[in-house]
Amino acid sequence: MAESTNERSDPPSAPRTAPGACASALCEAYDTALLDLDGVVYAGGDALPHAVASLRTARSRGMRSAYVTNNAARTPRTVADHLTRLGVPAEPAEVVTSAQAVARLIAEQLPAGARVLCAGGEGLRVALTERGLLPVDSADDDPAAVVQGYGGPELPWGVLTEAALAVNRGAAWFASNTDLTIPSGRGTAPGNGAAVEVVRIATGYRKEPRVAGKPCPPMHRESILRTGARRPLVVGDRLDTDIEGAHAGGVDSLLVLSGVTDAAELLAARPAHRPTYVAADLRGLLVAQPAPAPDGDGFACGGWRASVRAGRLELSGQDDDPLNGLRALCAAAWSAAGRERGTAECGPAVARLGL
């Protein structure tokens, strides 16, 4: 991925201390955007502002799109149909789910035709079947493995009972992902991680599942295998899944502020949660990315200057782009924090940016 137009993500031994620079538009510097969905492309099922137009423009300028989601409930075809209705033409082959990643993980360890107790939705069942595995519903079916994936709010309690019984009897245990919560049109709802915790409790905390979804490496591997990306850019709204997953995969990332992460969380990010680039929304794919430059005891980006003094982030100057101010603040906060989580007080500085 060594390109003159962009930086490579810092290795774990050298934590990122400032957002990176890209002299050309991101959609021209990277061949494939590995896009999260909720909070990036849509929210509550509806397209986010600027998302459809930005993705269409990025595609016209040569960037391919792949939609990478931890949600294991829906099949790739269902997701592709949804995106197409929103105005983003998509094929099932462009959708990568944690159900596919965990099904591959299981199939690599079990023989074809092995019984797998499926504690999840249609997307998980289809992924298991495509890998030559046999989904079953009861611990009495003698499953070789148990797999948990988000099954929607209607997931019966009895499914978790069967999963716990099978795990306690010795079945191998897998999870598509362990996100404790998910966004919904009515607010925050329990995610698959909450269901995994139920089974963990029933095992007396003696067992742990193997997890495939973001930020774990199997999900990134699945994305690369399915897309053939040579210069991928992970695009997400969550630090603990999207950005951490990019770090684990050794690729660059763009954080968009259209979802769950706000400016204060970004400034406090620990090294594995620091993105290469930051933008308000998917319009960030279409432009170059400026980098903060050292300026005395602080950092400057555009017309903004940021520094840390007495444990407090200070911001001076101004230009028409508040994201430049945020980039300068990130450089000051991350440089001061080093390998630790940022602790500098940031409220007044963030408020000045209106973010």
- 10 noted as active-site residue: no
Whats the size of the chain, residue-wise? 355
Q: Which two tokens stand for residue 10?
A: 């810092």
Q: Which two tokens stand for residue 1?
A: 């991925």
List the catalytic residue out of 10, 38, 242, 252.
38
Among candidate residues 7, 12, 49, 57, the one with its CA nearest the CA of residue 33: 57
Tell me the pairing of strands 145-148 and 115-119: parallel
* Catalytic residue (choose from 10, 31, 36, 281): 36
Tokens coding 192: 């698959």
Active site residue 38: yes
Q: Which residue shows structure tokens 């690369």?
A: 224
Rounded distance between C-alpha atoms, residue 125 and residue 223, angstroms:
19
* The residue type at 57: T
- Buried b or exposed e, range 153-185, using 16+ CB within 10 angstroms: eebeeebbbbbbbbbbeebbbbbbbbbeebbee
Mapped onto helix, strand or coil, the DSSP state of residue 333 is helix
DSSP string across 243-293: IHHHHHHT-EEEEETTSS--HHHHHT--GGG--SEEESSGGGGGS-B---E
List active site positions: 36, 38
